[in-house]
Structure 1
């Protein structure tokens, strides 16, 4: 199957879907139904991609809705009848009958059968995953079928639980595909933005969610860097656009979130720079153990990521995964009443500096870590095995050094852990020799703690350029790496 031209990117995802549809069943060398699970947050293009797959492969696509079990069964049977053009003599009484009917209808057709928004069905019919598991197992109707059944959904806590732990479908899936937002370089191409400074700022607001490009902004792209402020005002801060309330809806759509006020406060804490468990608890006004559950729920919903400190065991930081939520919590939420009455220009003028410091700055650090993840062995001397942020204690100065981009090699038994690179990222500050000196101090401290730092590359990631003393040092020392915005986006090497 050739990927349709209308599907931007997603080459790896399309290849995985193709292999799943074209492959053999669960028993090697024999036919049989196979199960795939596709998940991802809303607006990422899952349905668009799967609809293109069914068209290319001649499959069946059924989108569930919020309905009772009886209505869902009726809608599903009607969809199956339209596809097979075979009238069902006895309508299924329940999902036991419906799943058997499904597998029997595809005894001679090896095509994808997509059930989209599966959480709507499992919510009203909790036994449905167990029924599918039974029919895929020995003696089930799936053993005589060639259907490639794909369950898709956006409720990440529900979809993640389908194949986890003791779940009925655990071990049954031949495909487990998560559709992520476009990465920052791909997002810039998708938006048609070639100015790297503009691309970073747009990505800091909307990330790589495909739906925001056309459906939510009607194709409105900032013409240039000078148009960025006006673009923010006429799109995300405009009460007449769907983007205005989108961040709220992203939280409300998750079924596991039952106390929105608490969860918004937790997200606001992270957006304000309180990234540790203790810092979040202090901001929210709760004890640390009282926010453990909300943080776990936000992780399960793929709205928050827990990232370990690479140099301090047992310590971790939390990061909001969706940029639009960060923008909402840091910029919009506290000025919501004014924005609702169309005071966007006045609000934006007063919060723009906060946007650069609280939103763009941390987002730029995250992009620099993504840059390091994609690096080949030539950039840091070896392939990165682990990339993240870290804190290096400096007891002599009673302080600690924050490392924005730490790159570690794979752990080798009996050898000290190799530090491939230590990096600092600054968005609105020209980087100079003082920034390099801080990295040199961190390298010496890590060497004293038993790390292998002999070949460590000291990297400065500058959103506003570099001072002459730093560029001169980099010209004479191959272990000093300077990454500007052009290099970050792959425009230069």
Structure 2
């Protein structure tokens, strides 16, 4: 099956869908496709149906009776039977869909499946019964039924625990945002500093360039400030209110004010559970539920301290939401007035650098180690990449490490492959290397990790001075923006 020429990347997702759809083995099979909104899931699924002659149905938020009428009309248009379909229940619909695959493997997509299940909670059980192993309608069919949804909390539960469809799926595909390198290519940005600045705001969501920004990209580094004003902070553009809509579209987020406040706390630099509770003036147990819900819907991500398993920090998973809470939400009333965006943005650039760019840069450095760095750099694949806090019992001080890389323990202590520091706006020098070397010695004295091969990594968005450059060796690695973007 040929991937559409206008589909950027998604080679992995297309191959997975193609392999699932074209499988010649007998018996209908089930697949589940999920991912946050605006990632191109519908484009993928419509394209695979078009390439394989399948059937696509996009559900809407409607009553069960209306959805049955809509699927009746859609299947009538697709099959053109002698008399139109008038389904009275979903069992009839599913059996008709299974009948599409009697002669050959056929993809059948039900998009936005959570809308249907919300109106009829029995639907997963109906599908379970239809796909019962020895049932004739299933064994005689080669329908490849794909259920798709953007409500991550619901889609995460559909195959878990005691859910009716657990054990029934032959494909579980998560459509993720483009990673930072692909995002730069997608936006057509070749300058690595500009690419990272743009990525810190819009991330890797494809729709934000094509539909929301209407193809407007910064025309070079000098155009970045103007681009933010005219595209992101302009009340006339869809990007302006998109963060609010993303929250409103999540069915699990009922007390919106509380969830907004939790996100605002994290955007303000309160990364621990205690810090979030203090920002909200509540006790830590009181915010456990909203934090868990925000994690389930994919808006908040928990990063475990690599040196202490019982300590975690939180970060906002969607860059546009982080930008909204750090920069736009505190001055929302001003931004809604025409012509205020330029003044507000110029007053917010320092906060943008510290609360948005700095943390985003650190995260991209960790992603670089995990996904893009040459395996020869660390001599073995990392088992864990993250950040952490190292305690020096001798001096009763703590040292924060932006990048820590742990290897696989082979019968002894886990090897500490590397520790690193990431500075977005600082030119790094010998002082940064001395600090890392001292922290490595502290870790060695603590005795938990094997530090005999620990390398020192310096990541900088502003470059390195001559002393740092002179210290570069097999054990000291300097990573600048061109290297980060490879």
The verdict on a shared fold, with TM-score over 0.5 as the criterion, is yes
| TM-score tier (shorter) | over 0.9
**C-alpha displacement of 1:445:** 1.2
Q: Return the match for 1:82 from 69, 77, 81.
A: 77
Aligned match of 1:23: 23
Specify whether residues 209 and 89 from structure 1 end up closer, same or farther in structure 2 by C-alpha distance, changes over 3 A only. Answer: closer
Check if 1:295 corresponds to 2:288.
no
Three-state SS of the structure 1 residue aligned to 2:394 is helix
C-alpha separation between the residues in 2 aligned to 1:148 and 1:316? Answer: 40
Aligned match of 2:355: 358
Three-state SS of the structure 2 residue aligned to 1:280 is helix
Check if 1:269 corresponds to 2:265.
yes
TM-score scaled by length of structure 2: 0.97
**C-alpha displacement of 1:87:** 4.1
**Deviations 1:175-208 (CA, angstroms, capped at 9, x unpaired):** 0000000000000000000000000000000000
**C-alpha displacement of 1:24:** 4.2
C-alpha separation between the residues in 2 aligned to 1:470 and 1:250? Answer: 44
> Which stretch shifts more, 125-134 or 398-407?
398-407
**C-alpha displacement of 1:377:** 2.4
Three-state SS of the structure 2 residue aligned to 1:306 is strand
Check if 1:313 corresponds to 2:294.
no
Three-state SS of the structure 1 residue aligned to 2:236 is coil
Three-state SS of the structure 1 residue aligned to 2:124 is helix
Aligned match of 1:125: 120
CA contact (8 A) 1:107 1:145 kept: yes
Q: Return the match for 1:368 from 342, 362, 365.
A: 365
CA contact (8 A) 1:299 1:306 kept: yes
**C-alpha displacement of 1:407:** 0.9
C-alpha separation between the residues in 2 aligned to 1:242 and 1:454? Answer: 52
Q: Return the match for 2:431 from 428, 431, 434.
A: 434
Aligned match of 1:104: 99
CA contact (8 A) 1:417 1:452 kept: yes
Q: Give ranges in structure 2 of 5+ residues lacking alignment.
A: none
Aligned match of 2:41: 46
Specify whether residues 323 and 181 from structure 1 end up closer, same or farther in structure 2 by C-alpha distance, changes over 3 A only. Answer: same
Q: Return the match for 2:182 from 160, 180, 186.
A: 186
C-alpha separation between the residues in 1 aligned to 2:169 and 2:374? Answer: 32
> Which stretch shifts more, 395-404 or 247-256?
395-404
**What RMSD over aligned residues (CA atoms) do the two structures have, in Å?**
1.1
Specify whether residues 88 and 391 from structure 1 end up closer, same or farther in structure 2 by C-alpha distance, changes over 3 A only. Answer: farther
Q: Return the match for 1:174 from 170, 173, 182.
A: 170
Q: Give ranges in structure 1 of 5+ residues lacking alignment.
A: 26-30
C-alpha separation between the residues in 1 aligned to 2:100 and 2:21? Answer: 17
Aligned match of 2:256: 260
TM-score scaled by length of structure 1: 0.96
Specify whether residues 281 and 24 from structure 1 end up closer, same or farther in structure 2 by C-alpha distance, changes over 3 A only. Answer: farther
CA contact (8 A) 2:192 2:485 kept: yes
C-alpha separation between the residues in 1 aligned to 2:425 and 2:394? Answer: 30
C-alpha separation between the residues in 2 aligned to 1:467 and 1:400? Answer: 27
